[in-house]
Amino acid sequence: MEQNDIAVGLDIGTTKIVAMIGRKNEYGKVEIIGIGKSKSLGVHRGVVNNITQTIQSIQQAIQEAEADSGLKISEVVVGIAGQHIRSLQHSDYITRQNPDEVIDADDIHTLCNQVHKLVMLPGEEIIHVLPQEFKVDGQAEIKEPIGMYGGRLEANFHVVVGQVSSIRNIGRCVKSAGLELSAVTLEPLASANAVLSQEEKEAGVALIDIGGGTTDLAIFKDGIIRHTAVIPFGGNVITEDIKEGCSIIEKQAELLKVKFGSAWPGENKDNEIVSIPGLRGREPKEITLKNLSKIINARVVEIIEQVFLEIKNYGHDEQKKKLIAGLVLTGGGAQLKHLKQTAEYITGMDTRIGYPNEHLAGNNDSETTSPVYATAVGLVMNSLEKGNRRFQEEAVLSDKSPVEDSTEHEEEDHVQDEQDHEEETSKKVARKSIFDKWAEKFKDFLDNAE
């Protein structure tokens, strides 16, 4: 099998690291052909805090995925999250030199490049520049300006910003694990790709990805990403609360949460009790499930209220910005019993649990379609999409007949071809693949750091 046909997503999370290998079948659906998982030891709240342990965890997940699929992995798309991520809205414009020519991908690329030069806070770097709506000579609400005439091209952008050191550390871990980094994608964007339908994105929806260390939020409206945020706590804080509240060890607290935990205290009766073995000959502890769910509920309410505050900041109360499709909960934390009902009660919005089976082939393992793997599936999809675009670009290039002067020297032709290819590649970036451009920039950045 050719390397181009497959894609590998690497989800570096706080509790687990997942390597997922996928390919597209003849119906355009994603088929997962290998999956590897390891305990994440060097990551805290989405940020690497122990390079050596993280490298070992990545290698373990990659080896498992290779054994599962029988393929050798050399290149991965990595998801990035963490409390250092923030987003902002920005408007920018360019004045075109020749308004009598139609707007092409080059113009959009120039405009996006201009945004990339924005001055950020010290130690911060732009990860994604996502165009939302365009204006041509004052005419608003244009989604695709290519092919139109105009002198002034203006756009609203959703700009995602992260800490340079945190991004570099992830890149260093991936490189040290013997892998090539092909792209970096914001994790809530990857999860959204995997679990949301186009109709939901059009109607207006908030995706809440509850991970171990962070809760990621992505808001879509009219098919466009409108707001992203990372809330610096997730499922691990609930486990920590159970550990403290019940005076038990972390392993027992996690088991309690997964097996008996509920986000709704009214569900449990007072006489429902679970017994936990004591440490080293001590008496076993008895914990009522009502108390357990009260502890869980207190923290879940806090997480959802924080998310709801971000949704209000976006402007959900305004009629024009109303999120008709409500909330979609995904990630490992979304498996908590009665979480859907709790979220509906707090926010008053329709809620569903998001499974990453929206674009997966029907013959995939049921484990793959768990909310736990939403980000990994999304990263594989992003990588396949990127590879497909590259393939289409190359096909377009090979079909082109030379219109250049044929009297030039062969060497000059060769140089010209290379330049044309570079120009085509740069045009491609503006066409929905700003991620690719950033990955290139990021690679240079890492090489220079060395």
Owner of token pair 């590649």: 425
pLDDT at 400: 43
Mean pLDDT of 310-317: 85
Maximum separation of any 2 CA atoms in the chain, in Å: 93
Q: Please report which confidence band the pLDDT of residue 408 belongs to, taking 50, 70 and 90 as the band edges.
A: very low
Strand partners, 32: 22
Greater model confidence, 266 or 404: 266
Provide mean pLDDT across the span 419-433: 47
Q: How many CA atoms lie within 13 A of 389 on its CB side?
A: 19
Query: What's the Cα-to-Cα distance from 385 to each of 28, 29, 97, 391, rounded to whole Å?
Result: 11, 11, 33, 10
Tokens of 261: 């935990």
Together in a domain, 218 and 344: yes
124 and 148 fall within a common domain:
yes
Going across the sheet that includes 205-210, the strands are 224-231, 215-221, 205-210, 326-330, 351-353
In terms of average pLDDT, the best of 200-214, 257-271, 391-405 is 200-214
The secondary structure element, H or E, covering residue 54 is helix 51-69
The CATH number given to whatever domain includes residue 92 is 3.30.1490.110
Under 8 Å between Cβ of 384 and 30: yes
Band (pLDDT 50/70/90 cuts) for residue 412 is very low
Return the exposure string of 261-285: e unless at least 16 CB atoms fall within 10 Å of the residue's CB, then b: bbbbbeebeeeeeeebeeeeeeeee
Quick one: 219 and 181 in the same domain?
Answer: yes
Q: Write the pLDDT tens digit of every residue in 17-43.
A: 999 999 988 888 888 999 999 999 888
Shared-domain flag, residues 77 and 216: yes
Query: What's the burial of 249, exposed, middle or buried (CB within 10 Å: 0-12/13-18/19+)?
Result: exposed
| 218 Cβ neighbours under 8 A, 6+ residues apart | 188, 189, 191, 192, 206, 207, 209, 225, 227, 228
Predicted local distance difference test score (pLDDT) of residue 448: 62
Q: Facing residues of 7 across strands?
A: 22
Confidence at residue 404, expressed as pLDDT on a 0 to 100 scale: 40
Residue 245 belongs to a domain: yes
> What tokens does 215 get?
């809760």
Task: Let me know if residue 403 belongs to a domain.
Answer: no
Give the pLDDT confidence score for residue 444 in this predicted structure: 67
Report if residue 402 sits inside a domain. Answer: no
- Same domain? For 120 and 73 the reply is no
Which CATH number do you get for residue 197? 3.30.420.40
Predicted confidence (pLDDT) at residue 235 exceeds the cutoff of 80: yes
Point out the domain boundary residue: 382, 402, 430. 382
Given this model, what pLDDT does residue 176 score?
Answer: 94
Q: Does residue 77 share a domain with residue 183?
A: yes
The secondary structure of 102-148, three-state, reads ECCHHHHHHHHHHHHCCCCCCCEEEEEEEEEEEEECCEEEECCCCCC
Q: What is the pLDDT of residue 416?
A: 52
Q: How many domains does the chain have?
A: 3
Give the pLDDT confidence score for residue 303 in this predicted structure. Answer: 94
What are φ and ψ of residue 61, in 5° steps? -65, -40
Q: Give pTM, 2 decimals.
A: 0.81
The answer to the question of residue 374 being in a domain is: yes
Pairing of strands 30-39, 16-24: antiparallel
Answer with the one of 361, 382, 403 that is the final residue of a domain. 382
Average pLDDT of every residue of the chain: 84
Residue 406 lies in a domain: no
Evaluate whether residue 372 is within a structural domain. Answer: yes
Strands 351-353 and 326-330: parallel
Residues 94, 159 within the same domain: yes
Residue at 108 is within a domain: yes
Last residue of a domain, which of 248, 264, 299? 299
Angstrom distance (rounded) from CA 277 to CA 270? 21
Residue 389 in any domain: the answer is no
Contact 13, 382 (CB under 8 A): no
Whether 171 and 203 map to the same domain: the answer is yes
Whether residue 220 contacts residue 204, with contact meaning beta carbons closer than 8 Å, is answered with yes
Q: Same structural domain for residues 172 and 161?
A: no
Are residues 281 and 426 located together in one domain of the fold? no
Instruction: Tell me, yes or no, whether 326 and 356 share the same domain.
Output: yes
Question: Quick one: what percent of the chain has pLDDT higher than 90?
Answer: 48
Cβ–Cβ < 8 Å for 332, 185:
no
Return the residue matching tokens 């290379």.
Answer: 418
Task: Say which amino acid occupies 27.
Answer: Y
Range of the domain at 171: 3-82+166-232+302-382
Torsion of CA 52, 42, 370, 182, to 10 degrees: -50
What's CA 114's distance to the chain center, in Å? 24
Residues 60 and 154 in one domain: no
Under the banding of pLDDT at 50, 70 and 90, the label for residue 154 is very high
